[in-house]
Amino acid sequence: MRFNVFKNTVLLFVLVLISCASKTKNNISDSSELLIQTKQDSINNKLDPIVVGANQTEAYLPLLKGKRVGIVANQTSVIFLEKSKEAKGKSFTHIVDSLVSLEVDVKTVFAPEHGFRGTADAGEIVKDGLDVKTGIPIISLYGNNKKPTADQLKDVDVVIFDIQDVGARFYTYISSLHYVMEACAEQNKTLIVLDRPNPNGHYVDGPILEPEHSSFVGMHPIPVVHGLTIGEYAQMINGENWLKNKVQCNLTVITIKNYNRNMRYDLPIKPSPNLPNAQSINLYPSLCFFEGTTISVGRGTDLQFQVYGSPYLPKTDFAFTPQPNEGAKFPKHENKICNGYNLSDVSPLKTLDLSYLLNAYNTTENKADFFLNNGFFTKLAGTKKLQEQIEAGWSADKIKATWTSGLTNFMVKRQPYLLY
């Protein structure tokens, strides 16, 4: 009897010791995890700020010494300046103004779609002229003159390309980049790309463009969302021999400091008139397909690329009426009530969202007229298949499944050109 009591007492004592040890181990584990998280939070809070290529004058000014310089630029082509401690945030100066003040011999400014100051409509012809502030000639790279001519480059030794991109195939600044690279290669000029973050660089998605559907809103066999910075994209253009006659551009990329493609990056300056904020830029790859349909994406409102609707959709609890404004002199469905949806508060997308396109097609008044007969939807999609799939009633998941092989191949192909 006494032995059994003693045995039970010992057993209870052992169990208590095991329990205490377990709790201690758990506490140590919890403490370690907390310490790791605290260290990570500390690291995150002390990350060095992103430094765009344009700000690294020490890297590219030596390349401009004694050279005649041309600059491909718009309103986003700025160098950020730290304000005084009393002021919050940053100020900036345009790269053209900055280089002129540093006595760089800037001969010409080349302006892409939307113009040098970024106020022209999408698709509007931008005229040549003079920069009011510096008196430097401005040559348009939009309309009939998308590629610099030999005459336009004859007084230039080096061309700088400094444009903020948004990471979508149909955003035409990468098409301008192609033509500038091609012209520089043909005329034996050096091109310096001042790299900037891609605000949609955190994912890759969409159908691969088919060569027969190549246009200025899609020149290369890439998906709608390519996940590359403009500097990486320039390297891919060279490396994949996409330039005419497979010419090679003498290319230098001034890379971004303290950047990786998974970082959130809100643009300090809107990249074009109808992409006014981070929400519109995030939704742009998914909503731009509507430009080839009867659906408005809010041009002519203050919610561009954050809403969609048309007079041919059923009434909802949201509607808008497009009217002429900056960047939309003649908006689709001008002065007509457009029934639709407000996406200004939806969570940021991490993939192309086809639900908006499918919903609009499935609920529109006359499906036969939904896609414009000018073929623009096919140019945006880069393939006829997407329209055919939508008309056949395919689901978003079924459509996206047809993109898998092309996206896998693209991810392998782009790998050698990644810088971050």
Q: What is the pLDDT of residue 113?
A: 78
Q: How far is CA 414 from CA 16, 193, 257, 419, in A?
A: 59, 18, 21, 11
DSSP codes of every residue in 309-351: EETTSPP-S-EE----BTTBSS-TTTTS-EEEEE-TTSPPPSS
- Calculate mean pLDDT across residues 227-249: 98
- Of residues 85 and 227, the one with the higher pLDDT is 227
Q: Band of the pLDDT at 122, cuts 50, 70, 90?
A: low
How do residues 41-73 score in pLDDT, each as one tens digit?
A: 334 445 799 999 999 999 999 999 999 999 999
Banded pLDDT at 89 (limits 50, 70, 90): low
The Cα 360–Cα 377 span in angstroms is 14
Mean pLDDT of the residues in the chain: 88
Q: What pLDDT does residue 133 have?
A: 85
pLDDT at 307 over 50: yes
The CA distance from 225 to 90, in Å, is 30
Using CA atoms of 56, 59, 64, 70 in order, give the dihedral in degrees to the nearest 10: -50
pTM metric for this prediction: 0.86
Task: Please tell me the least confidently modeled range out of 76-85, 178-187, 210-219, 354-363.
Answer: 76-85
**Three-class SS state of 137:** strand
Residues 167, 227 contacting (CB under 8 angstroms):
yes
Residue 313 tokens read as 């959709």
Quick one: average pLDDT of 170-194?
A: 98
Q: How far apart are CA 81 and CA 287, in angstroms?
A: 34
CB within 8 A of 410, min separation 6: which ones?
204, 208, 222, 223, 226
pLDDT in tens, 204-227: 999 999 999 999 999 999 999 999
Chain-centroid distance, C-alpha 317? 31
Distance CA 322, CA 54 (A): 37
All structural domains of the chain, each given as residue ranges with its CATH number in brackets, are 53-265 (3.40.50.12170), 278-383 (no CATH)
Condensed to tens digits (0 to 9), the pLDDT of residues 261-274 reads 999 999 999 999 99
148 and 110 in contact (C-beta within 8 Å)?
yes
